Amino acid sequence: MSQAIATTPATNELGMVLVISGPSGVGKDTVWKTAAPCLPTFSRAITCTTRERREGEIEGKTYYYVSKNEFQRMIDEDELIEWAEVHGNCYGVPQRSVFDRINAGLDVVCVIDVQGAIRIRRIFPTSTLVFIKPPKGRENEILAERIQTRSLVEQAELETRLNTANWEMTQTHLYDYEVVNDNLDEAAKELCDIVANIKEKRGEGAS
């Protein structure tokens, strides 16, 4: 699978790149949304996707919704920093979603899957990778429940997602931090504390 990589200028004023990922159904988007008020310097990198829009999702805020032909054009013209095919749908982060902000010294968060996180680490070696995990010992039970609550899925698709989730949870060694999403408020606070500690080390404030 090909990957588009842009070149970023050398500067000491780059913003922080925060990557949040985890298996389908773990609640990574919800953890980010809950933590966002205590991370006001961060804006989310909007991902483009070929999947259909779900009820309540907003074009340009939740995702950029594109056709498969348009997505392929973006790959061919190197407009995507990273992209991956997940459960039959394509997801990608446009260069403008990340580079415009960090080159201006602003912070950006990418909420993406494990494949994307690994690629972003290659592009941005100083990025911070956080893996959101389900409670230990009940991983498949909780993920299956959350996936089915979020949208109706066929049994075959559910099994595919759970198999992918089991693989993803073997990749946590590639991450800088792990956060267990058993209690949403506690998980969000832990994420905020992680960022605050990193910014303190960089000589910045968290807000």
* 59: in domain: yes
pLDDT at residue 9, as a whole number: 42
* 204: in domain: no
pLDDT at residue 142, as a whole number: 63
Q: What SS3 class is residue 89? A: strand
* 3: in domain: no
pLDDT at residue 82, as a whole number: 80
* 9: in domain: no
Distance CA 128, CA 191 (A): 11
Q: The domain that contains 22 carries what CATH number?
A: 3.40.50.300
User: Which residue range forms the structural domain that includes residue 162?
Assistant: 17-199
Q: How many CB atoms lie within 10 A of CB 113?
A: 20
In this structure, what token pair is assigned to residue 49? Answer: 């996707």
Please name the residue that has the structure tokens 């992680």: 194
Distance CA 89, CA 103 (A): 30
* 118: in domain: yes
pLDDT at residue 158, as a whole number: 65
From first to last of its 207 residues, what are the pLDDT tens digits of the chain? Answer: 333 333 444 445 789 999 999 887 788 889 999 999 999 999 988 889 999 998 899 898 889 999 999 999 999 998 898 888 877 899 998 887 888 889 889 999 998 888 878 878 888 889 999 999 888 756 656 666 655 565 566 676 667 777 777 788 888 899 999 999 989 999 999 999 999 999 998 877 655
In this structure, what token pair is assigned to residue 186? Answer: 């506690």
CA 90 to chain centre: 14
Asked if 133 and 97 touch (Cβ cutoff 8 Å), the reply is no
The total domain count for the chain is 1
The amino acid at residue 134 is: P
* 207: in domain: no
pTM: 0.74
pLDDT at residue 38, as a whole number: 95
pLDDT at residue 176, as a whole number: 96
In this structure, what token pair is assigned to residue 204? Answer: 């910045």
* 6: in domain: no
Task: Supply the DSSP symbol for 51.
Answer: S
In this structure, what token pair is assigned to residue 151? Answer: 């949208």
DSSP assignments along 97-150, one per residue? HHHHHHTTT-EEEEE--HHHHHHHHHH-TT-EEEEEEPPTT-HHHHHHHHHHHH
* 103: in domain: yes
Quick one: which of 90, 96, 95 has its CA closest to 67? Answer: 90
Nearest-5° Cα angle at 98, 96 to 100: 55
**Which strand (E) or helix (H) includes residue 27?**
none
Quick one: which of 108, 117, 118, 78 has its CA closest to 94? Answer: 78
pLDDT at residue 206, as a whole number: 52
Nearest-5° Cα angle at 43, 98 to 17: 50
